[in-house]
């Protein structure tokens, strides 16, 4: 089995059905070259919409969602239900055998409670790769939502970037974080080809890297350092570049390990 490629996508791509289809066409092309693919997704925009319809207000701290206990049924339904099953259905339309999962299926990922002010949020850790390895070996694409559970069975929301890092560690895979921008911007507004830890911290202090990109960049550094390989942060709007990535070409911003 090839080294799996873990692709993290955000909920924003759900607003562009054609972009989603184009991404899955590329995934199918990669599969045809015997590249194992795993997709991890969030879905914050869908969760926000459903929470608003229910009369709830979402809060975020440093780009991280505060998941109140009374919000969890809606958040779980949005991510593990609506978004996950829509992604599986889209993958099926281009001939991909896709399986929709949550993080705790097959005991893949174990979660511990995050900081209390975040509410029902979990910190993911790789646990058991037998289930996911079997799926991938059978030429399936696992599509994994960022919903997990604690040891006591409580469902928790997990930052999708952190979830993708944990899945990458689980399968010792390469990771690419797809977002709605072409990479990480530098102080002059240009997209950076590569980024090291010290430069990233400086850009965060300057406010150049802010909001949700802070969590994304920090997750990428965690993954790069633990996996001992660079991680790409790039746009889902040009999915064909995933193919050139296999050939060693630059795609988005490469996050370098913090050695």
| Bind-site residues for substrate | 43-44, 65, 157
Determine the 3-state secondary structure of 18 from DSSP. helix
- Name the active-site residue from 48, 106, 148, 216: 216
- Name the active-site residue from 10, 42, 44, 183: 44
Active site residue 11: yes
Task: Could you list the residues known to form a binding site, using ranges.
Answer: 43-44, 65, 157
Whether residue 128 contacts residue 94, with contact meaning beta carbons closer than 8 Å, is answered with no
Whether residue 223 contacts residue 168, with contact meaning beta carbons closer than 8 Å, is answered with yes
What span, in angstroms and rounded, lies between the C-alpha atoms of 202 and 199?
5
Active site residue 161: yes
Active site residue 216: yes
- Name the active-site residue from 11, 81, 148, 183: 11
What span, in angstroms and rounded, lies between the C-alpha atoms of 101 and 80?
7
Active site residue 122: no
Q: Residue 9: CA atoms inside 13 Å, Cβ hemisphere, count? A: 26
What span, in angstroms and rounded, lies between the C-alpha atoms of 115 and 112?
10
- Name the active-site residue from 42, 48, 110, 161: 161
Residues carrying an active site annotation: 8, 11, 44, 161, 216
């Amino acid at each position: 089995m090839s080294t799996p490629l873990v692709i993290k996508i955000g909920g924003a791509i759900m607003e562009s059905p054609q972009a989603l289809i184009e991404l899955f066409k590329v995934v199918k092309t990669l599969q045809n070259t015997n590249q194992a693919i795993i997709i991890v997704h969030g879905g914050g925009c869908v969760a926000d919409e459903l929470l608003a319809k229910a009369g709830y207000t979402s809060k975020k701290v440093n780009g991280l969602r505060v998941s109140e206990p009374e919000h969890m049924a809606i958040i779980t339904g949005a991510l593990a239900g609506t978004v996950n099953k829509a992604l599986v259905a889209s993958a099926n339309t281009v001939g991909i055998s896709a399986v929709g999962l949550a993080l705790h299926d097959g005991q893949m990922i174990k979660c511990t409670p995050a900081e209390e002010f975040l509410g029902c949020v979990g910190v993911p850790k790789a646990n058991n790769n037998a289930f996911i390895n079997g799926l991938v070996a059978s030429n399936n694409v696992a599509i994994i939502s960022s919903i997990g559970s604690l040891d006591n069975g409580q469902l928790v929301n997990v930052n999708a970037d952190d979830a993708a890092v944990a899945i990458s560690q689980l399968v010792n895979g390469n990771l690419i974080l797809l977002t709605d921008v072409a990479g990480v911007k530098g102080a002059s507004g240009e997209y950076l080809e590569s980024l090291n830890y010290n430069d990233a911290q400086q850009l965060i202090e300057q406010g150049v890297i802010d909001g949700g990109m802070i969590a994304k960049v920090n997750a990428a550094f965690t993954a790069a350092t633990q996996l001992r390989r660079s991680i790409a942060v790039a746009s889902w709007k040009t999915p064909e570049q995933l193919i050139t990535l296999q050939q060693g070409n630059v795609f988005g911003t490469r996050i370098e390990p913090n050695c």
